[in-house]
């Protein structure tokens, strides 16, 4: 079909059309237009989306994955530029000899039935075309529109309005198809080197834009601030310039941001038009809005109506989209992926007045990264921290030696910028950035690929962190704290949220907060007798080791201690007060909270033999005080304290001579030195079976010295696994499983772990 035939076909209605790649933002818009024009529409894609679900309610016959059977009864097949000839639906259409057209061909044909307004350029098309559609709609002109993203204020990304004569659309220049359009008016935002996987050079790009200009029958609105656009467009017989440059036909002046609004005034050929308030930030959006002001004014829309519509405009998804905003943190997502877009977006981020800008950027396409290497190297000066992802390839084949590190190297060559790193594992980027988050920061996810998913992770977790900081009071809280720093084994992944309250009331409020929002909560002490899996712990991990939780008081033969008091500190306090019975505590490298939860013991002693009372917080944040008789207490386990959280306890001892206490302390210390390894460990790994101590059994099985990775069974005590350096939780778990299997096979003994194993394999920051 030629253009005229295609236009007649698509605007006639009642035909059978199939779309390949229908879930994409561009193709879903074409599907919506075809349905509105009365066609019977089917489509396929590799996955369903919110858009395909919406279109199905309008009549789309959707298949996932490809379904060549739906192609067979079609009269026309439309495909996206991402589709290759080997696609099953495409192959079927080719074999049947069906008409096959690109997305841009179909859009250009549909636009021929109305007065077209094309928005073209390398950057800003979606925002500008959606602004234009909104302004013309608010002016009562009933425009049809087609934009390349979800625009909440427009409702849908494409609309056919039979009542209006105008159709405004963004034109994709990436594959040269802007030459298909024959619009009434064109808006040219910018022209520069881009899409060099298709274009030979800048001259090739300029020739393509020049053809669009020749096919524009009405006005050409061009940005006077863009040197290439100005050079190519200025000589057009119906050219109208806009921008901040002196001499522009429509000029913006007195730009000043305030509270995420941007205020400016506009003049028309030197005469004032009026003031504008824009609710999307950035000077580049002021320029975009001025192009719409120029267009609408030339179409006869009163300036007051234009200004009112622009003030009510809200931006597109992924165009400086605020994902989370509070006094402490702001998380923003933006689609920018070209150096010019990056500079504009970072300038906007810097202009928010936040303390620091932390950016995670995902390069888009190997060819762009290679061709614009040096431009990328100069584009990030407005960010304090930059974590680079590896390249999002789109449909490209990798180019050897071209990675995210390419940009890091270019930045090092062209600037003295610090804080730049390359993280090839995309899902770790949220972890790298989130660990740095401080109050006052703005985090920006930037790029056209899937980096926005990491921004969404951080927005989710930053919102929870904000809530925790609001209710906790004194203390600290942060994201993705590595738990290997806080366990005696020195292994384990991060806590999704880490909190250290300083007061019992603050902790109770945290517990209530977590319960109300169904956030898992795990309370840990010094991390002895604890093995955290490599994925970390999802939810909130609380350590009670500050402020009131370190309180220790002696009353006669009784000692009251907060759960953050170390067991050795309890033993020394008892010694200094002349109280006996606490000496065995000295040999356990944990704190009071862990001793209570596990009913810890050593040298014949056991925690709950000396407990008078325990004060704890329940899941609703209420306080209770109970005696041991009121609690469920077992060997190395106190189930009552699994879902309730101890905050303090009172212990009893008995008066004893200083010499006797000193002798027992020395014996405890000596036993620990001679029977326990010095390397990092979690204490005893297994509970003792009834028939033989676990350490003796492991020795008899000849497993002392057995290792997996950096984890090894201690030569000193068989019931200890030590971290020789660099061990992972996976190493330790594999060694535990090996020991259990050996005991089962050789002695028919089931070894059960005494060490508490928590967490998950999948990282918490995904």
DSSP 634-665: BTTB-THHHHSEEEEEEEE-EE--HHHHHHHH
CB neighbour list of residue 110: distance below 8 Å, 6 or more residues apart:
7, 10, 11, 33, 37, 160, 167
pLDDT band at 280; cut points 50, 70, 90: confident
Residue with tokens 């300083």: 502
pLDDT at position 282 is: 80
Q: Is 165 a catalytic residue?
A: no
Question: What's the average model confidence in pLDDT over 86-105?
Answer: 91
Contact 255, 263 (CB under 8 A): yes
Q: Is 170 a catalytic residue?
A: yes
Task: State yes or no: pLDDT of 574 exceeds 70.
Answer: yes
CB neighbour list of residue 605: distance below 8 Å, 6 or more residues apart:
581, 583, 584, 585
Q: Name residue 575's beta-bridge partners.
A: none
CATH class of 473-683+761-766: alpha beta
Question: Token digits for 75?
Answer: 């009269």
Q: Which of 70-79, 85-94, 344-353, 460-469 has the lowest mean pLDDT?
A: 344-353
Q: What is the DSSP letter of 621?
A: S
Between 335 and 532, the higher pLDDT residue:
532
Question: What's the average model confidence in pLDDT over 696-711?
Answer: 95
Task: State yes or no: pLDDT of 589 exceeds 80.
Answer: no
Domain ranges of the chain: 3-107, 114-312, 321-457, 473-683+761-766, 684-758
Q: Is 383 a catalytic residue?
A: no
Q: What Å distances lie between residue 161 and 35, 164, 671, CA to CA?
A: 12, 6, 86
d(CA 708, CA 698): 16
pLDDT band at 711; cut points 50, 70, 90: very high
Tell me the CATH number for domain 3-107. 3.40.50.720
Q: What is the DSSP letter of 392?
A: B
Question: What's the average model confidence in pLDDT over 64-70?
Answer: 85
CA-nearest of 202, 203, 236 to 218 is 236
Choosing from 170, 194, 481, 586, the catalytic residue is 170
Between 214 and 51, the higher pLDDT residue:
214
DSSP 492-508: --EEEEEEEESSHHHHH
Q: Is 620 buried (19+), middle (13-18) or exposed (0-12) by CB count in 10 A?
A: exposed
Question: What's the average model confidence in pLDDT over 359-370?
Answer: 92
Q: What is the DSSP letter of 8?
A: H
Question: Token digits for 273?
Answer: 């038009």
Residue with tokens 């302004």: 135
Contact 296, 132 (CB under 8 A): yes
Helix (H, G, I), strand (E, B) or coil at 592: helix
Task: State yes or no: pLDDT of 371 exceeds 80.
Answer: yes
Question: What's the average model confidence in pLDDT over 535-549?
Answer: 94
pLDDT band at 315; cut points 50, 70, 90: low
pLDDT band at 634; cut points 50, 70, 90: confident
- Residue 463, CB-side half-sphere exposure with 13 Å CA sphere: 13
Contact 230, 223 (CB under 8 A): yes
Question: What's the average model confidence in pLDDT over 686-690?
Answer: 92
Which H, E and C letters describe 446-484, residue by residue?
A: ECCCCCHHHHHHHHHHHHHHHHHHHHHCCEEEEEEEEHH
pLDDT at position 514 is: 94
pLDDT band at 674; cut points 50, 70, 90: low
- The pTM (predicted TM-score) of the whole model is 0.70
Q: Which of 165-179, 262-276, 291-305, 310-324 has the lowest mean pLDDT?
A: 310-324
Fold exhibited by the domain 321-457: 3.90.190
Residue with tokens 């030339």: 298
Contact 376, 391 (CB under 8 A): no
Q: Tell me yes or no: is domain 684-758 CATH 3.90.78.10.
A: yes
Q: Name residue 170's beta-bridge partners.
A: 119
| Pairing verdict, β 711-713 and 707-708 | antiparallel
Choosing from 125, 127, 150, 504, the catalytic residue is 125
Q: Name residue 479's beta-bridge partners.
A: 497
Most confidently modeled range among 318-332, 641-655, 670-684: 641-655
Question: Token digits for 89?
Answer: 């639906």
CA-nearest of 68, 58, 62, 63 to 38 is 58
Question: What's the average model confidence in pLDDT over 659-684?
Answer: 80
* Mean pLDDT taken over the chain: 90
pLDDT at position 391 is: 93
pLDDT at position 50 is: 79
pLDDT at position 66 is: 85
Q: Is 762 buried (19+), middle (13-18) or exposed (0-12) by CB count in 10 A?
A: middle
Most confidently modeled range among 168-182, 193-207, 216-230, 416-430: 216-230
pLDDT at position 532 is: 96
Q: Is 382 buried (19+), middle (13-18) or exposed (0-12) by CB count in 10 A?
A: middle
Q: What are phi and psi of 77, to 5 degrees?
A: -120, 130
Q: Name residue 482's beta-bridge partners.
A: 494
d(CA 381, CA 51): 37
Between 762 and 249, the higher pLDDT residue:
249
Question: What's the average model confidence in pLDDT over 245-268?
Answer: 90
Between 368 and 711, the higher pLDDT residue:
711
| Pairing verdict, β 601-602 and 605-606 | antiparallel
pLDDT band at 224; cut points 50, 70, 90: very high
DSSP 693-718: -HHHHHHHTT-TT-EETTEEE-SS-T
Between 604 and 257, the higher pLDDT residue:
257
| Pairing verdict, β 475-482 and 494-501 | antiparallel
Q: Tell me yes or no: is domain 114-312 CATH 1.10.287.130.
A: no
Choosing from 126, 290, 487, 650, the catalytic residue is 126
Question: What's the average model confidence in pLDDT over 559-575?
Answer: 91
Task: State yes or no: pLDDT of 675 exceeds 70.
Answer: no
Helix (H, G, I), strand (E, B) or coil at 17: strand
Between 476 and 322, the higher pLDDT residue:
476
**What percent of the chain has pLDDT above 90?**
61
Angle at 105 between CA 58 and CA 340, to 5 degrees: 95
């Amino acid at each position: 079909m030629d253009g005229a035939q295609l236009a007649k076909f698509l605007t006639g209605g009642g035909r059978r059309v199939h779309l390949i790649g229908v879930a994409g933002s561009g193709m879903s818009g074409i599907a919506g237009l075809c349905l509105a024009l009365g066609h019977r529409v089917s489509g396929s894609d590799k996955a369903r989306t919110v858009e395909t679900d919406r279109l199905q309610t309008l009549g789309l016959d959707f298949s996932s994955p490809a379904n060549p059977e739906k192609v067979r009864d079609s009269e026309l097949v439309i495909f996206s530029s991402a589709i290759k000839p080997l696609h099953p639906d495409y192959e079927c259409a080719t074999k049947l000899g069906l008409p096959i057209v690109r997305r841009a061909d179909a859009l250009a044909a549909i636009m021929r039935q109305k007065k077209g307004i094309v928005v073209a350029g390398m950057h800003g098309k979606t925002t500008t075309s959606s602004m234009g559609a909104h302004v013309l709609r608010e002016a009562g002109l009933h425009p049809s529109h087609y934009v390349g993203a979800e625009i909440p204020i427009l409702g849908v990304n494409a609309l056919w309005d039979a009542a209006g004569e105008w159709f405004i659309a963004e034109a994709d220049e990436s594959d040269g198809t802007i030459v298909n359009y024959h619009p009434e008016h064109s808006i040219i935002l910018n022209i520069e080197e881009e899409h060099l996987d298709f274009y030979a050079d800048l001259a090739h790009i300029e020739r393509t834009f020049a053809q669009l200009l020749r096919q524009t029958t009405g006005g050409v609105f061009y940005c006077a601030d863009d040197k290439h656009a100005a050079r190519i467009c200025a000589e057009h017989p119906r050219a109208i310039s806009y921008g901040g440059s002196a001499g522009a036909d429509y000029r913006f002046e007195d730009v000043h941001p305030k509270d995420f609004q941007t205020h400016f005034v506009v003049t028309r050929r030197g005469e004032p038009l009026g003031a504008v308030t824009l609710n999307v930030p950035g000077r580049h959006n002021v320029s975009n809005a001025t192009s719409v002001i120029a267009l609408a004014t030339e179409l006869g829309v009163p300036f007051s109506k234009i200004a009112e519509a622009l003030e009510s405009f809200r931006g597109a998804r992924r165009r400086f989209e605020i994902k989370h905003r509070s006094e402490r943190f702001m998380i923003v997502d933006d689609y920018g992926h070209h150096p010019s877009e990056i500079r504009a977006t970072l300038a906007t981020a810097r202009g928010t007045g936040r303390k620091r800008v932390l950016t995670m950027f995902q390069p888009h396409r190997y060819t762009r990264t290679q061709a614009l290497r040096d431009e990328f190297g100069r584009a990030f000066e407005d960010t304090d921290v930059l974590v680079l992802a590896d390249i999002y390839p789109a449909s490209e084949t990798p180019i050897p030696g071209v990675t995210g590190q390419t940009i890091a190297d270019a930045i090092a060559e062209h600037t003295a910028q610090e804080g730049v790193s390359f993280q090839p594992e995309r899902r770790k980027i949220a972890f790298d950035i989130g660990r740095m988050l401080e109050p006052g920061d703005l985090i920006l996810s930037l790029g056209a690929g899937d980096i926005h998913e990491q921004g969404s992770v951080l927005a989710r977790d930053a919102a929870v962190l904000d809530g925790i900081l609001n209710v906790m009071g004194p203390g600290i809280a942060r994201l993705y704290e590595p738990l290997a720093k806080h366990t005696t084994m020195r292994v384990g992944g991060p806590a999704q949220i880490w909190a250290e309250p300083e007061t019992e009331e603050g902790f109770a409020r945290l517990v209530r907060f977590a319960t109300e929002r169904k956030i898992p909560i795990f309370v840990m002490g010094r991390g002895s007798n604890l093995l955290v899996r490599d994925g970390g712990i999802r939810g909130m991990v609380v350590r009670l080791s500050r402020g009131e939780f370190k309180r220790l008081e002696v009353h006669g033969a009784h000692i009251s201690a907060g759960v953050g008091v170390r067991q050795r500190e309890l033993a020394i306090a008892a010694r200094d007060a002349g109280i006996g019975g606490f000496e065995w505590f000295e040999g356990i490298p944990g704190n009071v909270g862990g001793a209570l939860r596990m009913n810890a013991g050593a040298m014949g002693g056991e925690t709950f033999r000396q407990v008078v009372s325990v004060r704890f917080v329940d899941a609703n944040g209420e306080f209770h005080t109970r005696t041991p008789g009121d609690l469920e207490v077992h060997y190395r386990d106190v189930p009552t304290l699994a879902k309730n959280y101890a905050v303090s306890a009172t212990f009893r001892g008995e008066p004893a001579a200083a010499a006797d206490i000193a002798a027992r302390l020395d014996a405890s210390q000596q036993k620990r030195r001679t029977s326990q390894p010095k390397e990092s460990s979690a204490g005893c790994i297994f509970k003792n079976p009834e028939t033989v101590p676990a350490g003796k059994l492991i020795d008899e099985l000849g497993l002392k010295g057995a290792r997996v990775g950096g984890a090894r069974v201690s030569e000193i005590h068989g019931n200890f696994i030590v971290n020789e350096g660099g061990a992972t939780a996976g190493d330790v778990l594999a060694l535990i499983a090996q020991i259990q299997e050996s005991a089962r096979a050789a002695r028919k003994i089931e070894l059960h772990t005494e060490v508490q194993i928590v967490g998950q394999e999948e990282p918490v920051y995904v």
